[in-house]
């Protein structure tokens, strides 16, 4: 694998890492505490965006995402998945180079 391919992947990873957000987005619709509100007649409030993820203790937790941050949060999740793809490609390059170095040593 060429060094330029590795450098390109590292640059891409660096760019993705700047906005990456770990979590699974979900949208919910809710009812409020006003008994006469339309939400109690079937027209619930929402959608409300949440990001859920497994926390440090291994428990799944979620956070409400304010509406003004929803687009950035969704883009961050996309960046996270993109970063994982780049890391897999880099790991494959590293594995190939590791095996190739073993073959070179064996030929000496």
> Has this prediction a pTM greater than 0.95?
no
3-state secondary structure of 65: strand
Res. 108: pLDDT tops 70:
no
**106 membership: H or E segment, kind and range:** helix 70-107
> For 39-97, what is each residue's pLDDT tens digit?
999 899 999 999 999 988 899 998 999 999 999 999 999 999 999 999 999 999 999 98
């Amino acid at each position: 694998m060429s060094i330029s391919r590795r450098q390109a992947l590292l640059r891409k990873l660096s760019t993705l890492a700047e906005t990456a957000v770990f979590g699974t987005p979900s949208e919910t619709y809710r009812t409020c505490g006003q008994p006469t509100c339309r939400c109690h007649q079937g027209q619930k409030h929402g959608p409300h965006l949440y990001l859920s993820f497994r926390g440090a203790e291994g428990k799944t937790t979620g956070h409400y995402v304010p509406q003004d941050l929803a687009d950035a949060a969704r883009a961050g999740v996309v960046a996270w998945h993109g970063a994982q793809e780049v890391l897999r490609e880099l790991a494959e390059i590293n594995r190939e180079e590791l095996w190739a170095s073993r073959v070179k040593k064996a030929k000496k």
